[in-house]
Amino acid sequence: MQLVLSLFPGIGMLDMAFEMEGFTVVRGPDVLWGGDIRTFHVPAGRFDGLIGGPPCQMFSSLAHMVRHNGFKTKFGNLIPEFERVISEAQPTWWLMENVPQAPLPSVLGYEAWSCKLDNRQLGEVQRRIRRWTFAAREKTVLQIETVALMNQKFSYAACGGGGSGGVGLATVDKFGRGGRPKSVKELRSKQRLDSCVGSNIKSSVAFRALCRAQGLPDDFELPPFKIESACKAIGNGVPIAMGRAIAAAVRLATNKGTANGTEATS
């Protein structure tokens, strides 16, 4: 059983996925719980792997709108801190998750491989695209198991912050009559953004919808949080299905030591 250190764990959704795939995960500091990665240090050689998703707000496609309105993104670029902890910990392998626009991490002594993965490639309804970077001493390509055909149902990415890019509480058929694919305009007109939009992201209905979209069990709870904060925390997490697919691929690669495989998408 591999021991893994998780950085920027949030509420631990990526950690849950790795635990489901047989890894033992130790959670590092997170600002959500009052932690600070900048003061965190770890001894070398204690962990087999290191996983994490540094805050993506700075690199998000919506970041320019925040700056246009005279505000600053909540977090700066913490990828260098992620790289620093890797250099200190010297794990056998490491994995980073972020938005596709984020810069690729680089740590001396490791060969990195990267791919973009859409949650819908795993048969899920929610569209959510993330870039994954995996690195080991020798370049290793993760063999990620995807479906042959995407789900005909469709929903936009779960978004804890709400807004027009928020989660749709109702999914829609992606195909119209005669099997004709619907346009983005048609999809938007059909999809309800209900109580997860903007200032209305406060209801238990929104919370349950986000849990379902992200693959969390129906009885999942976050007792320390108010509904609005709980929705944001879940919306910022990695979908369980995506996390499990990545974790299974990491387990296969690290157990067999293979450097062969096929990526999900470039």
pLDDT, one tens digit per residue, over 97-152 is 999 999 999 999 999 999 999 999 999 999 999 999 999 999 999 999 999 999 99
- pLDDT the model gives residue 75: 65
Q: Within a 10 A sphere around the Cβ of 90, how many other Cβ atoms? A: 17
Comparing 47 with 60, the larger pLDDT belongs to 47
Q: Give the model's pLDDT for residue 189.
A: 46
Compare 53 and 166 and report the one with higher pLDDT: 53
Looking at residue 228, its amino acid is E
Task: Give pLDDT, residue 107.
Answer: 98
Q: Rounded to two decimals, what is the model's pTM?
A: 0.81
Tens of pLDDT, residue by residue over 211-253, are 999 999 989 999 989 988 999 899 999 999 999 999 999 999 9
Question: How much is the pLDDT for 70?
Answer: 55
Report the distance separating Cα 73 and Cα 59, nearest Å.
9
- Asked if 119 contacts 239 with a C-beta cutoff of 8 angstroms, the reply is yes
Chain position carrying tokens 């050689």: 45
Q: CB neighbours of 242 closer than 8 A, spacing ≥ 6?
A: 17, 117, 119, 122, 124, 128, 130
pLDDT of 156: 85
User: Cα–Cα distances in Å, from 185 out to 62, 65, 75, 163, 191?
Assistant: 20, 22, 33, 17, 10
Q: Alpha helix locations (H) across 51-181?
A: 63-68, 79-89
Q: Is the pLDDT of residue 260 over 50?
A: no
| Strand pairing class (153-154; 3-7) | unpaired
Per-residue pLDDT band for 256 (boundaries 50, 70, 90) equals low
Q: 3-147+239-256, what's its fold?
A: Rossmann fold (3.40.50)
Please, are residues 244 and 20 in contact by the beta-carbon 8 Å criterion?
Answer: yes
Contact (CB, 8 A) for 249 and 144 = yes
List the beta bridge partners of residue 155.
126
> Is the pLDDT reported for residue 185 higher than 80?
no
**∠ Cα 153 156 157 (to 5°):** 125
Give tens-digit pLDDT for 49-83.
999 999 986 656 555 554 545 555 566 799 999 99
Where in the chain do CATH 3.40.50.150 domains reside? 3-147+239-256
Grade residue 20 by pLDDT with cuts at 50, 70 and 90.
very high
Quote the Cα angle for 108-24-87, to 5°. 15
What pLDDT score does 259 carry? 39
- Long-range CB contact pairs, 194-198, < 8 A, 24+: 194/168, 194/169, 194/170, 195/169, 196/158, 196/159, 196/162, 196/166, 196/167, 196/168, 196/169, 196/231, 197/162, 197/163, 197/164, 197/166, 198/162, 198/163, 198/166
Q: What is the total residue count of the chain?
A: 266
Name the residue with tokens 């919808």: 209
Report whether pLDDT(195) > 60: no
